[in-house]
A and B are shown apart, each in its own frame.
Chain A
Amino acid sequence: MALLEFKNVDYSYPSGDDDFVRALASASLAVDRGEFVALVGCNGSGKSTLARLANGLITPDGGEVLVDGKPTSDKSALYDIRRKIGVVFQNPDNQMVTTVVEDDIAFGPENLGLPPTEIRERVDWALDCVGMREYAKSGPFRLSGGQKQRIAIAGVLAIKPELMILDEATGMLDPEGRREVMNVVKRLNRDEGRAVVMITHFMEEAAEADRIIILDRGEIVADGGRGLFKTPEVFTRAGLDLPLPVRLSVALRARGIEVGTPLDADEFVAATLAAISAEPIPPQAADACAKPENVLTDDVPQADGEGDAETEAENGGEDEP
């Protein structure tokens, strides 16, 4: 059973008097334990709606959202759902409940009704995970944006959710802060084995994930591994940029120079140097996109089975009943 599953989810929010804006249209996806997924799309593509649906802050108009098989529409299951799915939001200033860092991180575990000693352990552990132990007693006002977001991550982490959703958590940060947060997130996924859904429009961040889901005007238009970057059109059609190395490789291909599809600067430099010295493309750049891809055609909603098969193929997961 997938940890988080969207089944043909529709959602509209009211706008103006009698108007409704469609934020999500029959969206289906599944995220499993341990995955690192980037969810990308322009502003207004429905990314944040998806995050809020995932932990039951809002419930779908049609279809259903399941967390470990439990629907978010079941009010009595909400508490369990939120223990499993933590969300870090965009604005670093609007997530802290108290004036002292460690008290704020304790807020979640306190809500779980844990004994004081365990809360203490979790707070210290969460602070260590985000590298902010030395700031345990400080207030939020002397912290940078990146540090505040790391505190927000620690606050969610202390609940020990199985999946963390970062809803444009780097959107308001400077490059330094973005790097700090990205490093923390990658470490959490790698060392702590926590599943991460990174909602972002920074493509350099998306290129670091194992799987990429593209949202365009409320629809999931692509869902696949890093091989997606081989078909740059799906990104540009959704109004997204490509990461610079990919953009350069596409432009070079148009000029008759083949450097594969490198995803980061290292790969690009290696492949380009090889092209210049007329050697074969080094294997790591060529392999970066060797994984299977799954680009969905325009308006056809994703079939459930297909999506699941895709996800499980990537994870070498269990069989579906």
Chain B
Amino acid sequence: MISVQKLSYVYSPKTPFTTQALFDVNMRIEDGDFFGIIGSTGAGKSTLVSHFNALTRVQKNSGTVIVDDMDLSAKKPDLNRLRAKVGMVFQYPEHQLFDDTVEKDVRFGPKNLGASADEQRALAKQAIELVGLDYGAVAERSPFELSGGQKRRVALAGVIAMKPQILILDEPTAGLDPVGKREIMELIVRIKAVCPTVVMISHNMDEIASYCNRIAVMSRGRVIGVFTPRELFGSRELLADCDVKLPLVTEIAARLCDGGAEIAHDILTEDELLDAIEKAVKHA
């Protein structure tokens, strides 16, 4: 569980360059959520999530962030315990790979948390297999020789190996081709079986609509609201207020609905839309 209360954040405080990145943010992410955060570039999404594992510290008198039983606005939260609990996957995570073999790179996290050599090996093996790579084939290879999609999986494994209970992903599919995108999303669903809470920042409304159960909409440092996909994408007033673009599937459904077809306007997946069209045609 992550609970954010009245969180504000200011970059370069007390200088002429002060910019406020977050204003009075309140939200609660429950265990088991697949929680989406959307908003245009500069809305404060990354600043917000970087609070969740204390990479950005809560500023004085600027609200609280609580992760399970840990108060991150406390003076000295137990960073080791926190970072084992909250895994963070940044944009283009493959850019952080550094070790000479895949296995060693994946062990880096568990090693930092003080796991024994045997534990490290076991955790690395589990993680590499979980992200869908062949352990025997890649473990001893240099991560720099792998393809783009494989590198991203190794980077993900590096975070998974720490056995987080909450996984935060910043644009996990950025820069991948369609197949790569789908594979990573399927992988995240698989990971969710062992890491029950997933928080995902994304610009891709199709991904957000088909995977998330709750969505926070951010704009200019504020959380405008937290909605279910159907609440958000089904309400035009809400979408207009939040300046959110529809997933293409929903847009087509809405326009068919406008055109007089008996099709719901809040459809979220392709299959739903196909069923609806089929029904409408048969009905006519």
Please report A residues at the B interface, Cβ cutoff 8 Å: 15-16, 42-44, 144-145, 171-172, 174-176, 201, 203-204, 239-241, 244-245, 247-248, 251-252, 255, 257, 265, 268-269, 272-273, 275-278
Contact = CB atoms under 8 A, between A and B. Distances in A.
Contacts of B281: 257, 275-276
Nearest to A45: B177
Given A251-B274, A276-B277, A241 B252 contact: no
Nearest to B280: A276
A276 B180 CA distance: 35
A149 to B, nearest CB: 13
Nearest to A273: B259
A237 B205 CA distance: 26
A273 B179 contact: no
A43 B177 contact: yes
B256 interface: yes
B274 A269 contact: no
B176 interface: yes
Given A176-B40, A272-B256, A273-B256, A171 B175 contact: yes
Contacts of B178: 42, 201, 203, 239-241
B11 to A, nearest CB: 14
Interface of B: 40-42, 145, 147-149, 174-180, 203-205, 245, 248-249, 251-252, 255-256, 259-261, 270, 273-274, 277-278, 280-281, 284
A262 B183 CA distance: 27
A18 to B, nearest CB: 14
Contacts of B255: 265, 269
Given A176-B41, A203-B178, A269-B255, A244 B277 contact: no
A144 B280 CA distance: 43
Contacts of B204: 175
B45 to A, nearest CB: 11
Nearest to B42: A144
A229 to B, nearest CB: 15
A201 B174 CA distance: 12
